[in-house]
Amino acid sequence: MDLYHSIVITGGGGMLALALKNVLEARERGYVALDRKSLDVTSEASLKAAFAEHKPTLLLNCAAHTKVDLCEDERDKADAINGYALGSIAKLARDHGTTLVHYSTDFVFNGAGTRPYRIDDPVGPLSAYGSSKLLGEQKLQESPPENWLILRTAWLYGRGGPNFPRTIVERARQGGTLKVVNDQIGSPTYTADLAEATFDLLDRNAHGIFHVTNSGSTSWHGFAQAAVDEFGVPVRVGETTSTEWLKIRPRQAHRPAYSVLDGSAMEKVIGRPMRPWREGLKSFRDAVNAKGFA
């Protein structure tokens, strides 16, 4: 059976789904994108109906509760969507012989490290969001299909949804004062690059957990300054610390201080590293200038 015979994308109305759809369309592959209105991943009945109707050979799970701070107040909802749903999806994928790709996060780590996190490093999420995504990884692996991928990524942005560089650029254009934390380090990752890497891994029959981010690292402040520079907004972004920011917004989720991911396992499979994060940001700028943020 052709892996790409019947492709289903859950969370089909979101930012990552748009990038996956763009790659599939460029490859002239058909797909079914199911948004939250057409598929409730927390409902086993809804999932069973979707599998029965579409009989996916490949399912790309983009459904997620991604509002990190809101997850602190909506822990049950986050666990249901990001966590327990994966148990049901994985079992149905196993029963139907479906290859399952699920996207996870750098937030499964506690950020105390000083070198890029390897796939087998101990996990220890600091936030409700990170805990819910780790739960999803665990539920998938409790009863997995024969073929599955968990792709941990980080600081994701792209066209088709709210994201950090879009927020920064829009606020800068409005003349607002910007202060961004300078003591959290990670790897900004462009959705288009993550989507391409997803299919590179699938084409090579990859299996298991991989770290997939653009290469290099920066702080949120460095990311913000790069964004306004790339979009030609002549402002200097102010700096602050995580401690100071939490004083202003005490209900905000705790984020790892260092969450750079080691992508060497992925590089061995696809034969190349991901391009640097700044190059991804330039491509994002070009795409937005051509088509807009949405």
Provide the β-strand partners of residue 152.
104, 211
Q: What is the edge-to-edge ordering of all strands in the sheet holding 32-34?
A: 32-34, 7-10, 58-61, 99-105, 148-153, 208-211
Distance CA 209, CA 119 (A): 7
CA-nearest of 121, 127, 254 to 184 is 254
DSSP helix/strand/coil, 10:
strand
Return phi, psi of residue 235, to 5°: -130, 155
Give residue for tokens 């391409």: 196
Q: Which pair of tokens denotes residue 253?
A: 């989720």
Task: Report which DSSP code applies to 256.
Answer: -
Among residues 129, 157, 190, 258, the one annotated as catalytic is 129
31 given a catalytic annotation: no
User: DSSP class of residue 108?
Assistant: G
Of 79, 76, 92, the C-alpha closest to 8 is 92
Distances (CA, A) of 108 to 133, 135, 222, 243: 7, 9, 23, 21
Q: Cα–Cα distance between 186 and 167 in angstroms, integer?
A: 18
The residues annotated with a catalytic role in the active site are 129
